[in-house]
């Protein structure tokens, strides 16, 4: 195997190229050993059900070339002590902070993809919002990958007590001739009364495989909101876990996915109520057309001490073709006795009757489908608090529906 691929030597070289300190560099090689040792996730287990990645060929991808644009922080925020920097800078300027928060919530050995991520993490971002500071404008980063390449972006966000932040992580590329890989890890902590809104928008080109693990830890009275969007890639697996640690923590988890052609999206969510009187509200909605597939598997877990938990979970799927398929598996694991948990899952086709009603008013078929699809996504879109993101998603949904028209003409 040549050195340009995902080898231990390549991981070491990456550390050298980035001039990483010893502790950070060592983690890479340790992680690589773990990656080699770990088996592929078991498709019979709940977490990877319907998503068989056995035999996923990692050797195709060349190792990451760091070089994402340096994060830009407005001066006034810097003056307030907000940190928004890549790991290279963070390792030099804020090593303690990085040590404390890098790979502390997501275990390196969680599965093969997190271990590989820990060996090759690149284009990493550290965001720190000090106590009481409210960042009003969203901070954003855009992730890029090249044809045949790989990227392992790590996003670490710490929002201290009474502080607030909205962060938008964008993953996007054109369709490449060769397969590419993205394996991302997101670790987010909200302190007492802190508020964080994390949005990940995945719109990779069709030759990219995307694996992402997001983990949120909410302190007392914190508010953690997340939105996970899957539109692009050939295969995407997104795992979103919210740990409501502090008393009275609130977590909103939104998901929106729209698959077409042969796309395959897998979503795994966890609402873990570890502290008492927490509220979690999850809504994942997906539309599927052509031969696409989706899985949703969501667990509400309530620890023994988490009395007064209020947990809500809903997964809704809209099928736009007879060939598309959606699986939905809600699960509950409750150890406390004073809790309220509600969950529901639906998979429904677009009714011809609905389309006929709209068409009988002069609306063409594609526009009628658009109305139905937008109507379906309405409650998720309405809850997105960043107008730019809402607009981008609306455009993307329109384009996805219109794809049908082109296909019909071609056939």
Partner 1 sequence: MADNLLAIEDLHVEVEGKEIIRGLNLSLDKGEIHAIMGPNGSGKSTLAYVLTGRPGYEVTAGKVFYKGEDVLDLAPDERAKRGIFLAFQYPTEVPGVSVVNFMRTAYNAIHSDAQKSAMAFRMYLQEKIDLLEIPSELVDRYVNQGFSGGEKKRNEVLQMAVLEPELAIMDETDSGLDIDALRHVSEGVNKLAGPDVGIMLITHYQRLLNYIRPDKVHVLMQGQIVTSGGFELAERLEAEGYAQVGEEFGLSQEALAELKQKEKE
Residue 75 is a binding residue for partner 1 (CB under 8 A):
no
Half-sphere exposure (CA, 13 Å, Cβ side) for 238? 27
3-state secondary structure 178-225: CCEEEEEEEEEEECCCCEEEEEEEEECCCCEEEEEEEEEEECCCCEEE
Q: Which of 376, 384, 386, 397 touches partner 1 (CB under 8 A)?
A: 376
Interior angle at CA 337, CA 331 and CA 341, nearest 5: 40
Q: How far apart are CA 53 and CA 30, in angstroms?
A: 23
Q: How far is the CB of 317 from partner 1 (least distance, A)?
A: 14
Q: How far apart are CA 411 and CA 408, in angstroms?
A: 5
321 — phi, psi (to 5°)?
-145, 160
Q: How far is the CB of 252 from partner 1 (least distance, A)?
A: 19
Q: How far apart are CA 61 and CA 150, in angstroms?
A: 6
Residue 332 is a binding residue for partner 1 (CB under 8 A):
no
Q: How far is the CB of 226 from partner 1 (least distance, A)?
A: 22
Residue 23 is a binding residue for partner 1 (CB under 8 A):
no
Q: Which of 6, 125, 231, 372 touches partner 1 (CB under 8 A)?
A: 372
Neighbours of 119 (CB within 10 A): 28
Q: Which is nearer to partner 1, 31 or 368 (CB)?
A: 368
**Quick one: which segment of 168-176, 247-255, 360-368, 392-400 binds partner 1 (CB under 8 A)?**
360-368
Alpha-carbon distances of 408 from 169, 234, 366, 383, 404, rounded to whole Å? 34, 21, 11, 33, 6
Residue that the structure tokens 């599927």 belong to: 288
Q: How far is the CB of 365 from partner 1 (least distance, A)?
A: 7
Q: Which is nearer to partner 1, 359 or 396 (CB)?
A: 359
Residue 40 is a binding residue for partner 1 (CB under 8 A):
no
Tokens matching residue 60: 């195709």
Q: Which is nearer to partner 1, 128 or 376 (CB)?
A: 376
Residue 352 is a binding residue for partner 1 (CB under 8 A):
yes
Helix (H, G, I), strand (E, B) or coil at 59: helix
**Quick one: which segment of 19-27, 38-46, 125-133, 354-362 binds partner 1 (CB under 8 A)?**
354-362
**Contact letters (x/-) for partner 1, 81-120, by CB under 8 A?**
----------------------------------------
Q: How far is the CB of 286 from partner 1 (least distance, A)?
A: 15
**Quick one: which segment of 73-81, 82-90, 154-162, 370-378 binds partner 1 (CB under 8 A)?**
370-378
DSSP secondary-structure letter at 58? G
- What's the start-to-end Cα distance of the chain, in Å? 43
Neighbours of 91 (CB within 10 A): 23
Residue 258 is a binding residue for partner 1 (CB under 8 A):
no
Applying CB under 8 A, the site for partner 1 has a residue count of 24
Q: How far apart are CA 81 and CA 130, in angstroms?
A: 6
Residue 391 is a binding residue for partner 1 (CB under 8 A):
no
- Residue 114: CB partners within 8 Å, gap ≥ 6? 106, 107, 108, 183, 185, 213
**Quick one: which segment of 107-115, 200-208, 326-334, 371-379 binds partner 1 (CB under 8 A)?**
371-379
Residue 383 is a binding residue for partner 1 (CB under 8 A):
no
Q: Which is nearer to partner 1, 23 or 356 (CB)?
A: 356
Of residues 117, 48, 129, 46, the one with CA closest to residue 85: 129
**Quick one: which segment of 248-256, 290-298, 336-344, 357-365 binds partner 1 (CB under 8 A)?**
357-365
Residue 345 is a binding residue for partner 1 (CB under 8 A):
no
Identify any residues that bridge with 243 across adjacent strands, giving them in sequence order: 217, 272
Tokens matching residue 334: 């409750």
Q: How far is the CB of 356 from partner 1 (least distance, A)?
A: 5
Angle between helices 365-382 and 352-359 (to 10 degrees): 110
**Contact letters (x/-) for partner 1, 139-178, by CB under 8 A?**
----------------------------------------
Residue that the structure tokens 């979690």 belong to: 280
Residue 358 is a binding residue for partner 1 (CB under 8 A):
yes
Q: Which of 36, 175, 364, 395 touches partner 1 (CB under 8 A)?
A: 364
Residue 349 is a binding residue for partner 1 (CB under 8 A):
no
Whole-number CA gyration radius for the chain: 21
Q: Give the interface with partner 1 as residue ranges (CB under 8 A).
A: 351-354, 356-365, 367-368, 371-372, 374-379
């Amino acid at each position: 195997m040549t050195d340009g691929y995902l080898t231990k030597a390549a991981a070491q070289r990456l550390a050298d190229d980035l001039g990483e300190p010893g502790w950070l560099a060592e983690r890479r090689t340790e992680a690589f050993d773990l990656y080699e040792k770990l088996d592929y996730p078991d498709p019979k287990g709940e977490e990877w059900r319907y998503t068989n990645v056995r035999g996923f060929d990692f050797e195709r991808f060349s190792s990451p070339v760091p070089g994402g644009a340096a994060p830009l922080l407005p001066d006034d925020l810097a003056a307030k002590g907000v940190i928004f920097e890549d790991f290279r800078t963070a390792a030099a300027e804020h090593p303690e902070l990085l040590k404390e928060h890098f790979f502390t919530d997501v275990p390196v050995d969680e599965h093969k993809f997190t271990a590989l991520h820990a060996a090759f993490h690149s284009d990493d971002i550290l965001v720190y919002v000090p106590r009481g500071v409210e960042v009003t404008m969203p901070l954003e980063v855009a992730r890029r990958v090249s044809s045949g390449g790989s990227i392992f972006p790590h996003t670490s966000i710490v929002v201290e007590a009474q502080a607030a932040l909205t962060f938008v992580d964008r993953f996007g590329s054109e369709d490449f001739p060769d397969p590419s890989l993205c394996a991302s890890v997101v670790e987010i902590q909200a302190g007492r009364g802190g508020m964080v809104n994390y949005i990940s928008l995945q719109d990779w080109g069709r030759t990219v495989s995307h694996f992402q693990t997001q983990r949120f830890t909410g302190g007392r009275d914190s508010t953690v909101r997340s939105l996970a969007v899957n539109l692009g890639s050939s295969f995407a697996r997104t795992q979103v876990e919210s740990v409501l640690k502090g008393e009275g923590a609130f977590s909103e988890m939104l998901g929106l996915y729209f698959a077409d052609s042969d796309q395959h999206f897998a979503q795994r969510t966890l609402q873990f109520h570890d502290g008492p009187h927490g509220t979690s509200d999850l809504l994942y909605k997906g539309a599927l057309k052509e031969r696409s597939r989706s899985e949703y598997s969501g667990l509400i877990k309530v620890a023994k001490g988490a009395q007064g938990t209020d947990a809500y979970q809903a997964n809704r799927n809209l099928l736009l073709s007879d060939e598309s398929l959606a699986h939905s598996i809600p699960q509950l694991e409750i150890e406390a006795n004073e809790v309220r948990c509600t969950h529901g899952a639906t998979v429904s086709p677009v009714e011809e009757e609905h389309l006929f009603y709209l068409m009988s008013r002069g609306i063409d078929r594609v526009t009628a489908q658009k109305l139905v699809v937008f109507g379906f996504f309405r409650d998720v879109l309405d809850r997105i608090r960043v107008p730019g993101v809402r607009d981008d998603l609306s455009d993307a949904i329109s384009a996805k529906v219109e794809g049908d028209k082109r296909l019909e003409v071609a056939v």
